Structure 1
Amino acid sequence: MALSVAGKDVGNALLNVVLKSQPFVPRDNITAWMNAIGLIITALPEPYWIVLHERIVSVVNSPSLTSETEWVGYPFQLFDFTACHQSYSEMCCSYTLALAHAVWHHSSIGQLSLIPKFLTEVLIPIVKTEFQLLYVYHLVGPFLQRFNQERTRCMLEIGVAFYEMLLEVDQCNTHLNYMDPICDFLYHVKYMFTGDSVKDQVEKIICNLRPALKLRLRFMHISKMESASVSQQPVSNMSPAPQPTQVPVNVALPVSQ
């Protein structure tokens, strides 16, 4: 803080120790260096550590996540820091992801409380591809338990933001290749953290998704799906068929005079 430069420049320099100076950092101790950066930068005022959000935006907008031809492999390999580091295939995506986890791990809950706003105001407008969506899920997913314990309101806001982001990706792509992992993650968020607390908001979003996603997420909004299916059935099919074991009962009706 006593340096004669802006906090933003100091924060970027701290992040660059890992992101741009890998040859000078012992490979066996890379995670220790990341944790050291997390401890230092989170102890400083907001202008120093908020630059991490800018780095995340830069990665989300990178060709590796925006272009299908830039990375033709399995996206989860792209996000696996340990595998990339051990194979000497340093990727900005995996390094930034690991560094963000290290910084947020050492952050206070007050610092983490900016993440919902970061998702809704910054990331949702720029997330257009499946790779971007999966990257954001990988980014925030490990901290859902802490949000659930310390800031429930933030947890609910993040849960809704995940669906809004999925809707944006669904509308921007003609085909989705990773619907099953995406839906599995959303079910995990519901049954482990949000429950039915965001059901009303989620139902409105799911109703605008493509049929394949609706089918996979049918248990998120089962009530509306059931009512919709019933309303589409013919009137004759809505009455239950008489059971063979049912005994008819004759009821005497009053005769009008």
Structure 2
Amino acid sequence: MSRRRIGGWYRLAVIVLKPALLLTTKRNWQGAGNLPVTGGVITVTNHISYVDPFTFGHFVYERGRLPRFLAKESVFRLPLLGRLVRGAGQIPVYRETNDAGAAYSAAVVAVRAGECVSFYPEGTLTRDPGQWPMRGRTGAVRVALETGAPLVPIAQWGAQEILPAYSKRFHLVPRHTVWVSAGPPVDLSRFAGQPVTVAVLDEATGQMMNELTALLEEIRGETAPPQRYDPRAGGTTWYGNPNPKQPKQQKRKRSGR
């Protein structure tokens, strides 16, 4: 592994998290050679658990890269975690606001500076009933087309067994296997030189999501549904828990009979 410049906050995260991951997970990693060890690169991965940024980050770190995630802005306001992610140089995303473009600009600058920028193209935990990747957002493709940097799809599975989506209860025993598989960079050459229209971005993003899903099919040994899940078409919100816990009903008092 090549030597990397690593700041104090990033070093602290590695010191704390790497031993914990080694202790609590088993790892089945494939395709690490598809992730370049130097130069600007963009990675995309599916989102199945609040734990998977750490299991995914572990894979990327062991390849010799320091992933810079695009994370929702609310994380940066948390007392301890917020200070950690800010200090480690992660990129805040201001969802559906006038500041939303700032994350895109920061990602472009980072990639051009030779860094590894990691996207969750779904933008949230998957709402697909089978936990397959949903319809993707176009941000990663836009950065790839603007910078010319490789766009590497990396599928992951198993983190949802440790912490299910939207759950607060960890399942650490028995140790769960985390599968991570990196594929070859997405070939976007046919889009090079074209005007970056909505149609071009949608087509390129669809290709990216197809390749990411194909990697996950190999890991799971299953076939994804032919129609990719779209939260809006499915009648659910794009962000937040789609199945909030229903308030408990008050128990009826028994009659005196």
Relative CO higher for 1 or 2, CA cutoff 8 Å, sep ≥ 6? Answer: 2
- Which structure dedicates a bigger proportion of its chain to helix? 1
TM norm. shorter chain > 0.5: no
The normalised TM-score by structure 2 is 0.26
- Which structure dedicates a bigger proportion of its chain to strand? 2
